[in-house]
Amino acid sequence: MQLRNLINKEELKAKLATTEEKRRTFSFYRYVKIENPQELRDELFIKWNNLGVMGRIYLAHEGINAQLSLPEKNFAEFQKELYSNTCFTDTPFKIAIEDDGKSFYKLTIKVKEKIVADGLDDTTFDPSNTGTHLDAENFNKLMDDEKTLVVDMRNQYESEIGHFENAICPDSDTFREELQIVKKLLRGKEERQILLYCTGGIRCEKASAYLKHEGFKNTFQLQGGIIQYAKEVKEKNLDCRFKGKNFVFDERIGERITKDIISACHQCGNPCDTHTNCSNDDCHLLFIQCAKCRTSYAGCCTPKCQEIAALPNEEQRLLRKGKNKTDCLSVYKSRLRPKLHAN
């Protein structure tokens, strides 16, 4: 009985690159009590692997968080099978905006302590007491109210390539870190209307409940996140208040919402909103790099990484032992990120 992927990454990516099969990328989540996440994990892996599902799925006692793709011909069967489990009946899907079917190359289902790492003790407040959910039209209306503060509940590397107009975009690298930053930024503004948004809605579910517990009574959140907002804006011909790209956690890295380019290459400062992972296998730092700098630096974040990436694989492996990203992260935060903010 196969309960995990047995083929290496290179083979899987090569196979996906050549397939002409139409696939659909989407995401969903649900906070719901799951008695035995490990048992459910194995059950889902068998069923979903047979349906050609690829993606990254997290299960915990508190629920499910899934980003995945599957052959379009199997979509109806997948939905029927998922909804047959009473834990997930009628769970809404957020369908990808830009999708070439190459978003994921393997199926990974992991059991975690939480479906989103937030660093909170859920026993100290009621996670189900969330903020009011708003569709795209009402989200726009509330944005126009001068009493409203719009807060981006994503990481800095997500918001720098795209965000809502006049949104507060905290300089954080993790959701755990951002929750505390946002609480401090909003302290003293408990009577204001707090409007939260994130990629698909899952981070706002926990953030809105936590902020309500902290005394922010007028808390609202964007239903379905940026993904659903972009879909509704297009369908209803609404004014799109989100500018730029929506960062996504798969092989696409980002999907374009508007033509606006609001960020810059971290190396030369020219307009750019294309993320890349440093080609040095000991680094893989995520940063913004234009096509010209990608050629100049061979897809690396610094000359040092470029030097290492050019070495024979065996020499790179020897250097990799005991190493980490500390040096590159230090350069990024001290030199590259300030350079971006100055433009």
**Active-site residue numbers?**
198
Non-local (6+) Cβ contacts of 234 within 8 A are: none
* Sequential DSSP letters for 163-227: EETT-B----SSHHHHHHHHHHHHTT-TTSEEEEE-SSSHHHHHHHHHHHHTT--SEEEETTHHH
How far apart are alpha carbons 184 and 127 in whole angstroms? 20
H/E stretch holding 337:
helix 337-342
Coil, strand or helix at 47: helix
HEC profile of 90-108: CCCCEECCCCCCCCCCCEE
